[in-house]
Amino acid sequence: MKALLPLFTIAYAAVSLLFAIAALILMGFAALELWNAVSGGSSHTVTDRVAGTIESIGLMAVALVALEMAQTVMEEEVVRRVHVSAPTRVRRYLSRFLVVVVVALAIESLVAVMQALHERPETLPHAAAVAGGAAALLAAWGVFVWLNRTAEDLEPEGVAEARQEDHKVQ
């Protein structure tokens, strides 16, 4: 089984690279969308330009999630070679991921609300559902962190070990 661990490291590095490439592509699309909104000429109304700018923000939020996932996978699985099993590591790994997801969902819900208000008011409940999902995810994450603290008290060596690994990525 230990002979397979280098293969997993290579696979994690490949996944991280693909996340980074996807993030760069999304940032390019966001820049293109923003450019089209700004330089659309006189044929575009202000509402069209605002919608394009808002769409650009949404694309950047998704790019941020992809980039953060690339960084998290690279740091946790390739650089540190951490195998997520201890409560401390699980909490840290999930926290890094969920921070980005909650922020991206919150931004996406704002983008969706703005689009719904200006273009399709009938989709406003969908935007509200995304915002509610982000809030529920944030609350569930807070409960998880709070409940996980007691597990860390049972494993103080895991906290110390995780702190020692931090120097690998600083």
Rounded to 10 degrees, what is the CA torsion of 111, 112, 116, 119? 60
Inform me whether the pLDDT recorded for 82 exceeds 80: no
Mean pLDDT of all residues in 24-37: 94
Residue 62 has pLDDT above 70, yes or no: yes
- Mean pLDDT lowest for which of 12-21, 61-70, 75-84, 154-163? 154-163
Cα dist from 76 to 67, 72, 94, 96, 162, whole Å: 14, 6, 11, 10, 11
Indicate the pTM of the whole model: 0.68
What percent of the chain has pLDDT above 70?
A: 81
Q: What string of DSSP letters covers 93-148? A: HHHHHHHHHHHHHHHHHHHHHHHHHHT-GGGHHHHHHHHHHHHHHHHHHHHHHHHH
6 or 23: whose pLDDT is higher?
23
Residue % of the chain over a pLDDT of 90: 24
* The predicted structure's pLDDT at residue 121: 87
Mean of per-residue pLDDT scores for the chain: 81
Confidence tier at 96 by pLDDT (50, 70, 90): confident
pLDDT at position 61:
84
Residue 95 burial (10 A CB sphere; 0-12, 13-18, 19+) = middle
Residue 48: pLDDT above 70? Answer: yes
Domain ranges for the chain, please list them: 2-169
Is it the case that residue 38 has pLDDT exceeding 80? yes
